[in-house]
Amino acid sequence: MIVSPGPVAGLSAPRPAAPGRPWRPAMLAALAVWSTSLGVHLMVGALAWLTFRGRGPAPDLWSIALGWNGWDAMHYVTIAASGYHLGPGYPAFFPLFPMLIHVVNPILPGDGVVSALVLANAAAFGALALLYRLAELELGAGIARRAAWYLAVFPTGFFLFIGYNESLFLLLIVGSLYAARRENWWLAGMLGALSSATRLFGVLLVIPLAVEYLRQVGWRPHRVRPDVLALTVVPLGLVGYSLYCLVDLGSPLQFSIAQDQWGRRYTFPGMAWVTSVRQIAGHGLLDKGALAAMLDAGTVLVAVVLLILCVRGPFRLRRDQMYLVVQGGVGLIMLMSTEVAGRSMQSAARYAMEAVAIFLVLGRIGANQVVDRVVLVIGASLHAVLLVVFMSGSFLVA
């Protein structure tokens, strides 16, 4: 039986949390999801290690961890150890994650790989807890619990638990949105600034934050308060990195110039998705390029459909929750406008899970037990398969 999503009209404020209500439910939910995910990743990683290494002794945790830290993960570790003067493409990787690796590496055993994994997993735990709190505030504990699980079993959700900046970026985004919803605007702005120091698209967070701010003042400019200046804090992470690029690398746009080394370019919104479909049609279904395009285009299509369900149909969000739809919509539009080295929407299957609203609406739909089981089984299965593919070194998932 599908639970009715309730009223959607009006500009009602989020339901306030009970006075003094602790974070304990969110922390326990995050711990359950995080620990289960880590255990599954270790088992899948061990099987993948044995598959690609052939027969031999069972791998230790270190061997599995090395298998997780492929592709971009090693770029972050290398930057943390040696800085940006390693090649023209390195400034494309924004500085906050490698800075954190550099800071914690001296106090952790092993090298930067261990630090990257520890930081990513700590951020993943925090992102799960914050997603739970945000979803609980907006829609209730049941939906919050399902949203956290659905994020973890997202087909490319393993990127949250390996040495990428994905979990850090998601932690900062959800934290900023949650702070804004609770009208803590300076905290929202500071977390937004950290997000724009983690990834270029973090600066786009100012758009949903502005929408939520205007909603809170009733869309009346004369009611704007001094804390509106918190929105101007969001781009400061990008500004700070740009100043570093000017002083140390010779150009304030060196991070953008570096993108040319990876063949990144932007198209008219939506055209990258169309190009991706054409790439699929132009190759056999078993062609690696076609499979990669199918993964990216298919994931984005599902995310777009879920975002549409946020505004149409029985599971739609309330009007006062549209800041979440705006956040997801801006991100997906950028994904559908990006090409990398001739591959449309490269890594879009990973970036799509940053559209926070899709997990809230999916949590609503998952009130139907059959749907819940289907989402968990299909998501976890694809998750495990893609983790194995990633560990094989294939560019299909990167």
Alpha carbon 260 to its chain centroid, in Å, reads: 23
Distance (Å, whole) CA 146 – CA 233: 33
**What is the residue-averaged pLDDT of the chain?**
86
Give the number of C-alpha atoms closer than 13 A to the C-alpha of residue 394, restricted to the C-beta side: 16
Ranking 41-55, 181-195, 364-378 by mean pLDDT, the lowest is 41-55
pLDDT (mean) for 263-278: 78
Q: What is the pLDDT of residue 267?
A: 80
State the Cα–Cα distance between residues 307 and 303, nearest whole angstrom: 6
pLDDT at 3: 41
**E-strand stretches of the chain:** 264-266, 338-340, 343-344
* pLDDT tens-digit readout, 217-240: 999 988 999 999 999 999 999 999
Instruction: Tell which residue, 128, 137, 139, 130, has the closest CA to residue 317.
Output: 139
Residue with tokens 């492929």: 70
Phi–psi pair at 18, nearest 5 degrees? -60, 145
Provide the whole-model pTM: 0.90
Angle at 141 between CA 137 and CA 144, to 5 degrees: 80
Question: What are the φ and ψ backbone dihedral angles of 304, each rounded to 5 degrees?
Answer: -65, -45
Q: Is the pLDDT of residue 36 over 80?
A: yes
The SS3 of residue 344 is strand
pLDDT, average across residues 23-33: 94
Q: Is 3 helix (H, G, I), strand (E, B) or coil?
A: coil
**Angle of the 112-139 helix axis to the 72-82 helix axis, nearest 10:** 120
Helix axes 166-181, 112-139, angle to 10 degrees: 30
Min mean pLDDT across 12-21, 32-41, 270-279, 358-367 is at 12-21
**Higher-confidence position of 145 and 14:** 145
Computed on alpha carbons and rounded to an integer, the radius of gyration of the chain in Å comes to: 21
Both tokens of 220, joined, read 């009346």
Beta bridge partners of 239: none
DSSP annotation of 372 reads: H
Query: What percent of the chain clears pLDDT 70, i.e. is strictly above it?
Result: 85
Q: Evaluate whether 387 touches 45 at the Cβ level (below 8 Å).
A: yes
Predicted pLDDT of residue 74: 87
Comparing CA positions, the residue from 2, 31, 22, 315 lying closest to residue 145 is 31
| Predicted local confidence at residue 22, as pLDDT | 65
Which amino acid appears at position 359 of this protein?
Answer: F
**Over 50: is that where the pLDDT of 94 sits?**
yes
Element housing 144 (H / E): helix 141-152
- Residue 53, pLDDT > 80, answer no
Each residue's pLDDT tens digit, 301-359: 999 999 999 999 999 999 999 999 999 999 999 988 887 766 667 788 889 999 999 99
pLDDT at position 310: 96
What pLDDT is attached to residue 268?
78
Looking at residue 73, its pLDDT comes to 85
**CB contact set of 74 (below 8 Å; sequence gap of 6+):** 163
CA distance 30 to 377: 19
Full strand arrangement of the beta sheet holding 338-340: 264-266, 338-340, 343-344
* pLDDT at res. 6: 43
Query: Which one, of 10, 25, 18, lies nearest residue 321 by Cα?
Result: 10
Secondary structure, 3-state, 232-295: HHCCHHHHHHHHHHHHHHCCCCHHHHHHHHCCEEECCCCHHHHHHHHHHHCCCCCCHHHHHHHH
Cβ neighbours of residue 354 closer than 8 Å, sequence gap 6 or more: 169, 170, 173, 331
Q: Is residue 17 over pLDDT 50?
A: no
Please count the CA atoms within 13 angstroms of the CA of 236 that sit on its side-chain side: 14
For residue 126, give the 3-state DSSP assignment: helix
End-to-end CA distance of the chain: 39
What tokens does 6 get? Answer: 């309730």
Instruction: Note whether 117 and 163 are within 8 A (CB).
Output: yes
Q: Report the distance separating Cα 204 and Cα 159, nearest Å.
A: 22
**pLDDT the model gives residue 102:** 94
Q: Would you say residue 11 has pLDDT above 50? A: no
